[in-house]
Amino acid sequence: MSIAKVIVDVPAKQTDRPFDYLIPEHLEEVIQPGMRVIVPFGPRKVQGFVESVEETSSFKSLKKVIEPMDVVPVLNEELLLLGDWLSKTTLCYKISAYQAMLPPALKAKYERKLKLVSENANFMLPDGLEQLFASEPSVLWEEAVKFASIHAIQKLVKEGIAEVHYEVQSKGKKKTTKHIIPLMSAEEMLIYAESLAKQASKQKQVIEFFIHNREPIEQRQLLERLNISSSAVKGLVERQVLAEKNLEIYRDPYEQRQFAKTEPLPLTGEQSTAIAPIHASISNDKHEVFLLYGVTGSGKTEVYLQSIQNVLEKGEEAIVLVPEIALTPQMVNRFKGRFGDQVAVLHSGLSVGEKYDEWRKIQRKEVKVVVGARSAIFAPFENLGIIIIDEEHEMTYKQEENPRYHARDAAIERGKIHNCPVVLGSATPALESFARAQKGVYTLLSLPSRMNNRPLPEVEIVDMREELKEGNRSMFSRVLLEKLKDRMEKQEQTVLFLNKRGHSSFVMCRDCGYVVKCPHCDISLTYHRYSNQMKCHYCGYEDQTPLQCPECNSEHIRYFGTGTQKVEEELTKVIPEAKVIRMDVDTTSRKGSHEKLLKEFQDGNADILLGTQMIAKGLDFPRITLVGVLSADTMLHLPDFRSSEKTFQLLTQVSGRAGRHELAGEVIFQTYTPEHYSIELASQQDYDRFYQSEMMIRRNHSYPPYYYITLITVSHEELMKTVAVTEQITKVVRHKLSPKTVVLGPVASPISRIKNRYRYQCLIKYKQEPNLKEVLKSILDHYQGEISSNGLQISIDVNPYILM
């Protein structure tokens, strides 16, 4: 008798433990830990994860496993352990932890198919399958299991004859674009063309094209190739010579590309010193966390590359995490260029199918290195030899929904299991990490100088209040403008950085200061220029921009703040001859556009690259000699104890884009608070002094890294209910935790309402609180009923990064 211990997909307190199921005889050899199965649960059938397979159960009359969903485990033994750790440390249900580790294709409603991938003459397909596959290379799973045992299918998959695929069920999700197809035959077209008037030369051109090309072509491509407008095509469509049709396009973003192979560079002295302890940890199979603290342009990436090479030579695997925003083709090229096909890339720009394909390459051991954003930390490698987190201070490594894990913690946990090093790299390490390195918990490795001892760029701080006093109302200070023009003359390039975070483009009345807010969420609406509408970024609420102030009836109510479009317009006014490339969410939403814009800039087709956070990282172009930060202080005013740290990090990052090669760089920070220490110290790129100052402040206010914090946020549609529950929770926490622990609250959250739900919070600051998780869990349990019945929400964030 074999028993499967299954975590069922019913996220609730009562079901957050394994349930025993009998494995029916025909599945005895099939079912393994880490597979998903379908099991009966009450009156329903649900999905679940097999945690382990055992011989006995303490329960009698067990229900049976209905069928497996996978033919090979989707979670290996180590990932099952990691799931356990995740659920314990982030207080989430185990089922949520397991699901978080899988690619999205394995999460939602996808059609499962069995696909024939190789014809192997020596391998007989089961009879029925042979017939099924004769007409189609891929068949529905439900069909396949009618004709062959799961055991037989499992064998096919193991032999590489067939594969299991997941396809999105709704057709609407597939990416389609408008294609043009010929309706007439080539002869008919010839005749038609002769009947056309002389003036219709464009139409003739199109017909000429289709006489020779009978395949569907994307309309966009057609227009580009013939250099015509869509009206010529439209006319022909109306006459039914051609037709429009939405067809699917397939694109693997990196497939067609050739990667110039790169060889390891001879390391500099500093690099060699830094890499030696990493190599030692690799060859001794010793887990150790390294903080690679290297200024911008100091060659951290080369250290990563050569460490990985060392790991590969040992026959082991590597995970490299890069912030989503820095996962640019340039970044990917550096890894693909060195390790070629051994590299898989996981990032949010890939479609669900593409992500799944990359993930399978890892699972089938076809690749050895994965480069990806946060969730790539769960790559199903079994022989990890190193984990690298670049820009380790980045906030995006923290997941802001359940499970609220930090990739750095998960990396260290995996590093322990695999006895391998974890390398955290940054020019501006998170305060927490640097403090740990100071205490010797992490090993500090430094790269204090830039490559070839190139100096860090000169930074000049411009006080925008002074500019205003002197009558300059423009968003560009005089110095910045002068230097911009200078770069134009020298044919050098400028990066203009606009910090969007915490600086939405809101609509404000200049007479009474009224700001238009979302009626449901209590945050200001963001102005969208093209549609002249205002939109709420939390709930999607949209409204027309008012012509008059609802408060005082003044007509001076208008869009305020600076968006990239606005800057672009201003730029063309003050320097009409400047060629500007704008990179923001709007211009980069199409697949590949990010890359295209960067390439254009790299090729020298523009003088100025204007953008948001998106351009703060990773750019390494030789002709950039000027970086301008339009308003350095916008982020300082967020209600967040890390706002100074974030400001310092961002400013240092951006400055690092200038003068990385032969030409020296200059940086301008425009600000309304030039005296603020994080702006001042960022201008000197003095991380060490920033660290000292910031640590003092953190100590005085009992913030991390001196204290740990946990944030409890309660939300409900009724204000009274929200307050009452938060009050109750605060009381319990105060009562159960040690007197040294500071419990703040209940108070309204900085964003006090989202989607018509009120939000209150309680913040816990503590040094040592061994019972904390238990207390928190008991709180969640206590409210379980109300959470599932009356819409109460309680979110618990251990080590939060967003305090709004």
Interface ranges with ligand ATP (CB under 6 A): 265-268, 271, 294, 296-302, 427, 451, 618, 620, 656
Interface residue with Zn ion, options 72, 211, 539, 751 (CB under 5 A): 539
Write phi, then psi, for 770 (nearest 5 degrees): -60, -25
Cβ neighbour number for residue 383 with a 10 Å cutoff: 13
Q: How far is the CB of 105 from ligand ATP (least distance, A)?
A: 32
Q: Does 650 bind Zn ion (CB under 5 A)?
A: no
The first and second tokens of residue 62, run together, are 């067990």
Site for Zn ion in 480-509 (CB under 5 A): 509
Q: Does 521 bind Zn ion (CB under 5 A)?
A: yes
Cβ proximity to Zn ion, 536 vs 711, nearer residue: 536
Q: How far is the CB of 335 from ligand ATP (least distance, A)?
A: 12
- What does the alpha-carbon distance between residue 76 and residue 89 come to, in Å, rounded to a whole number? 20
420 is in an annotated binding site: no
3-state secondary structure of 126: coil
- What does the alpha-carbon distance between residue 779 and residue 782 come to, in Å, rounded to a whole number? 5
Interface residue with Zn ion, options 192, 259, 541, 706 (CB under 5 A): 541
DSSP 574: H
DSSP 86: H
Q: How far is the CB of 266 from ligand ATP (least distance, A)?
A: 6
3-state secondary structure of 750: strand
Cβ proximity to ligand ATP, 427 vs 578, nearer residue: 427
Task: Say which entry of ligand ATP, Zn ion, none residue 521 contacts (CB below 5 to 8 A, set by partner kind).
Answer: Zn ion
Cβ neighbors of 449 (< 8 A, separation 6 or more) are 270, 295, 298
Cβ proximity to Zn ion, 507 vs 627, nearer residue: 507
92 is in an annotated binding site: no
Cβ proximity to ligand ATP, 150 vs 274, nearer residue: 274
Helix, strand counts (H, E) of the chain: 24, 33
- What does the alpha-carbon distance between residue 38 and residue 767 come to, in Å, rounded to a whole number? 44
Q: Does 534 bind Zn ion (CB under 5 A)?
A: no
Q: Beta 533-535 vs 542-544: how paired, if at all?
A: antiparallel
The first and second tokens of residue 127, run together, are 């009879």
Cβ proximity to ligand ATP, 156 vs 627, nearer residue: 627
Distance, CA of 370 to chain centre: 15
- What does the alpha-carbon distance between residue 117 and residue 164 come to, in Å, rounded to a whole number? 10
- What does the alpha-carbon distance between residue 603 and residue 600 come to, in Å, rounded to a whole number? 5
Task: Say which entry of ligand ATP, Zn ion, none residue 551 contacts (CB below 5 to 8 A, set by partner kind).
Answer: Zn ion
Interface residue with Zn ion, options 518, 608, 651, 794 (CB under 5 A): 518
Cβ proximity to ligand ATP, 68 vs 656, nearer residue: 656
Q: How far is the CB of 711 from Zn ion (least distance, A)?
A: 22
Task: Say which entry of Zn ion, ligand ATP, none residue 536 contacts (CB below 5 to 8 A, set by partner kind).
Answer: Zn ion
Task: Say which entry of Zn ion, ligand ATP, none residue 697 contacts (CB below 5 to 8 A, set by partner kind).
Answer: none
Q: How far is the CB of 514 from Zn ion (least distance, A)?
A: 4
Cβ neighbors of 794 (< 8 A, separation 6 or more) are 712, 713, 714, 725, 729, 779, 780, 783, 787
Distance, CA of 126 to chain centre: 43
- What does the alpha-carbon distance between residue 301 and residue 253 come to, in Å, rounded to a whole number? 23
Task: Say which entry of Zn ion, ligand ATP, none residue 299 contacts (CB below 5 to 8 A, set by partner kind).
Answer: ligand ATP
Distance, CA of 791 to chain centre: 29
Which helix (H) or strand (E) covers residue 523, if one does? Answer: none
Cβ proximity to Zn ion, 85 vs 541, nearer residue: 541
Q: How far is the CB of 424 from ligand ATP (least distance, A)?
A: 13
The residue among 777, 798, 779, 650 whose CA lies nearest residue 711 is 798
Q: Does 537 bind Zn ion (CB under 5 A)?
A: no
Cβ neighbour number for residue 771 with a 10 Å cutoff: 11
Task: Say which entry of Zn ion, ligand ATP, none residue 725 contacts (CB below 5 to 8 A, set by partner kind).
Answer: none
Task: Say which entry of ligand ATP, Zn ion, none residue 417 contacts (CB below 5 to 8 A, set by partner kind).
Answer: none
Q: How far is the CB of 225 from ligand ATP (least distance, A)?
A: 36
Task: Say which entry of Zn ion, ligand ATP, none residue 512 contacts (CB below 5 to 8 A, set by partner kind).
Answer: Zn ion
Q: How far is the CB of 640 from Zn ion (least distance, A)?
A: 21
Q: Which stretch binds Zn ion (CB under 5 A): 200-208, 426-434, 550-558, 682-690?
A: 550-558
Task: Say which entry of ligand ATP, Zn ion, none residue 18 contacts (CB below 5 to 8 A, set by partner kind).
Answer: none
Is the preceding omega at residue 403 within 30 degrees of 0, hence cis?
Answer: yes
Cβ neighbour number for residue 318 with a 10 Å cutoff: 28
Q: How far is the CB of 519 from Zn ion (least distance, A)?
A: 7
Cβ proximity to ligand ATP, 301 vs 752, nearer residue: 301
Q: How far is the CB of 622 from Zn ion (least distance, A)?
A: 45
Tokens 């953190």 belong to residue: 698
Q: How far is the CB of 616 from ligand ATP (least distance, A)?
A: 10
Cβ neighbors of 672 (< 8 A, separation 6 or more) are 463, 464, 465, 631, 633
CA atoms within 13 A on the CB side of 274: 29
Interface residue with Zn ion, options 130, 466, 551, 555 (CB under 5 A): 551
Q: Does 774 bind Zn ion (CB under 5 A)?
A: no
Cβ proximity to Zn ion, 555 vs 781, nearer residue: 555
Cβ proximity to ligand ATP, 19 vs 304, nearer residue: 304
CA angle 782, 784, 790 (to 5 degrees): 120
C-alpha distances (whole Å) from 620 to each of 3, 298, 406 are: 56, 12, 28
Q: Does 552 bind Zn ion (CB under 5 A)?
A: yes
Q: Does 554 bind Zn ion (CB under 5 A)?
A: yes
Cβ proximity to Zn ion, 526 vs 741, nearer residue: 526
- What does the alpha-carbon distance between residue 372 and residue 349 come to, in Å, rounded to a whole number? 11
Q: How far is the CB of 458 from ligand ATP (least distance, A)?
A: 17
Which helix (H) or strand (E) covers residue 744, if one does? Answer: strand 742-754
3-state secondary structure of 680: helix
- What does the alpha-carbon distance between residue 426 and residue 653 come to, in Å, rounded to a whole number? 10
DSSP 266: P
Which helix (H) or strand (E) covers residue 268, if one does? Answer: none
Cβ proximity to ligand ATP, 236 vs 275, nearer residue: 275
Task: Say which entry of ligand ATP, Zn ion, none residue 298 contacts (CB below 5 to 8 A, set by partner kind).
Answer: ligand ATP
Task: Say which entry of ligand ATP, Zn ion, none residue 554 contacts (CB below 5 to 8 A, set by partner kind).
Answer: Zn ion
Interface residue with Zn ion, options 536, 606, 610, 709 (CB under 5 A): 536
Q: Which stretch binds Zn ion (CB under 5 A): 142-150, 511-519, 558-566, 636-644?
A: 511-519
- What does the alpha-carbon distance between residue 636 and residue 90 come to, in Å, rounded to a whole number? 29
- What does the alpha-carbon distance between residue 510 and residue 609 come to, in Å, rounded to a whole number? 31
Q: How far is the CB of 327 from ligand ATP (least distance, A)?
A: 13
Task: Say which entry of Zn ion, ligand ATP, none residue 271 contacts (CB below 5 to 8 A, set by partner kind).
Answer: ligand ATP
536 is in an annotated binding site: yes
Cβ proximity to ligand ATP, 524 vs 653, nearer residue: 653
- What does the alpha-carbon distance between residue 339 and residue 386 come to, in Å, rounded to a whole number? 15
Total residues in contact with Zn ion, by rule CB under 5 A? 15
Cβ neighbors of 551 (< 8 A, separation 6 or more) are 509, 512, 514
- What does the alpha-carbon distance between residue 570 and residue 50 come to, in Å, rounded to a whole number? 60
Cβ proximity to ligand ATP, 403 vs 656, nearer residue: 656
Q: How far is the CB of 753 from Zn ion (least distance, A)?
A: 8
Residues that constitute the known binding site: 509, 512, 518, 521, 536, 539, 549, 552
Binding region for Zn(2+): 509, 512, 518, 521, 536, 539, 549, 552
Contacts with Zn ion, residue ranges (CB under 5 A) = 509, 511-512, 514, 518, 520-521, 536, 538-539, 541, 549, 551-552, 554
